[in-house]
Amino acid sequence: MRFFEVFRTLKLPEEIGMYLDDVEVVKVSKTSTNSMARIYIQSDRLIDKQLIYKAEDALKKQVFRMKNMDVRIIDRYRLSKQYTPQSIMEVYYDSMMFEMEKYWTLEYNLLKNSSWEFETEDRLVITLEDGFLSRTYAESLADYFKKIFLNRFGFEIDVIYEYAKKESNHYERENEHKLSLRVAEIEKNMRAAMGDSSGSDNEKKKEKNSEDQSDKKNTTKKSGDSGKSAGDKSANNGKFGNGTFYKKPNNDDVLYGRDFDDEAIAIEQIDNAIGEIVIDGMIRKVDEREIRNERTILMFDVTDFTDTITVKMFVKNEELSQVKEYIKTFSAVKNPSVKFKV
């Protein structure tokens, strides 16, 4: 169905509505919490991202206002054969920059000081100013362009990145050095926390009380040194802190939770509660809110460039600093593409 056949009551300025007249609405879905509506559209001509965002705002205020839902338009294009990846880049590059500035500020700042060219029809070369941040986030930029061209335009391209020497002054070099030292300190603290926890686990191995061996359900585990019961949760096999989260000691890639090898699915395919799923994306926009019972909600956005989802973690305050250190490591030190099982 056409866009205005689906949203008959929507009023848009003519300069926006004219681009949506012939747009086909493929699907409308919502999240299981009714917090966001996703509208999948397909168009025969390119639509500026700024116009897409204005249409999202109008839909939120006019159509979905009663439920106070956010609105996300997932735009796909069915373009004529005259379009190539290079011609799309030339026409649509400002829209890509506008989208990146809204959702991925760091990558936007790196990209605005870069240059690009297509060496061949399907090989994009991005030249970045050399530095710690550009070398850290170059992979995420390449991933962004690959997924945008594939998911939005149907083109599969290769993306490579090169580094150009940056002409920096004394203060910029000093700040770069301080940032490198800070990152090294974070990694050192993370390794130390892991080492201390595993050492504590080895020292506090439990042995079963012979009196309870006949009843496994009521088994009481005691410490070999202090004789304390299993109520002391600070010493569980493979557990940190009070035992509420786990680390596989034989897999250094797992910083929080348990190991898994499930296949990831695209975030845009998540419509309703479907049990445990795996997503592969990057952490953005970390926030926290303290609640009752000495607990804190950690909230952060994860994007895989098909869509964005908000992850919430309920953490005890005594574990908050350690968990935040892991999230900071994910978003600033390691390869920005990380997997989550939620």
- Is the residue at 299 inside a domain? yes
**Nearest 10 degrees: CA dihedral of 279, 283, 289, 295?**
60
Give me the residues paired with residue 287 across strands: 299
pTM comes to 0.54
331 vs 15 pLDDT, higher one: 15
pLDDT for position 219: 42
State which of 164, 183, 206 marks the end of a domain: 164
Note the pLDDT tens digit of each residue in 228-257. 333 333 333 444 444 444 444 466 666 667
251 vs 308 pLDDT, higher one: 308
Which residue in the block uniquely carries the two structure tokens 């168009």? 43
> Residues 151, 305: contact at Cβ < 8 Å?
yes
Most confident range, picked from 141-155, 194-208, 214-228, 269-283 = 141-155
Same domain? For 68 and 131 the reply is no
> Residues 297, 289: contact at Cβ < 8 Å?
yes
Tell me: pLDDT of 305 over 70: yes
pLDDT for position 295: 86
Angle at 27 between CA 24 and CA 32, to 5 degrees: 155
pLDDT for position 282: 78
Alpha-carbon Rg for the chain in angstroms: 25
Same domain? For 53 and 21 the reply is yes
d(CA 270, CA 155): 23
- Is the residue at 99 inside a domain? yes
Percent of the chain residues topping a pLDDT of 70: 71
Same domain? For 92 and 51 the reply is no
d(CA 150, CA 235): 48
Cβ contacts of residue 267 below 8 Å, gap of 6+?
279, 281, 302, 303, 304, 306, 307, 308, 309
State which of 130, 164, 198 marks the end of a domain: 164
130: CATH? 3.30.300.180
Which residue in the block uniquely carries the two structure tokens 């990380």? 338
168 vs 318 pLDDT, higher one: 318
Note the pLDDT tens digit of each residue in 56-102. 999 999 998 877 789 999 999 999 999 999 999 999 999 999 998 88
244 vs 157 pLDDT, higher one: 157
- Is the residue at 188 inside a domain? no
* Beta strand spans in the chain (E): 24-30, 36-43, 70-77, 115-120, 123-129, 158-164, 206-208, 221-223, 239-240, 245-246, 278-291, 295-303, 308-316, 338-341
286: CATH? 2.40.50.140
- Is the residue at 92 inside a domain? yes
CA 133 to chain centre: 18
Domain assignment of residue 15, given as a range: 3-77
State which of 77, 102, 134 marks the end of a domain: 77
Same domain? For 293 and 324 the reply is yes
Of the listed ranges 40-44, 114-118, 180-184, the least confidently predicted one is 180-184
Tell me: pLDDT of 43 over 60: yes
Same domain? For 49 and 92 the reply is no
Same domain? For 63 and 100 the reply is no
pLDDT for position 120: 92
Identify which of 210, 338, 239 has the alpha carbon closest to the alpha carbon of residue 279. 338
Our count of domains for the chain comes to: 3
- Is the residue at 245 inside a domain? no
Angle at 74 between CA 68 and CA 78, to 5 degrees: 150
- Is the residue at 192 inside a domain? no
28: CATH? 3.30.300.20
Distances in Å between the Cα of 11 and the Cα atoms of 6, 61, 74, 211, 242 are 13, 10, 20, 75, 55
- Is the residue at 148 inside a domain? yes
- Is the residue at 324 inside a domain? yes
Same domain? For 58 and 22 the reply is yes
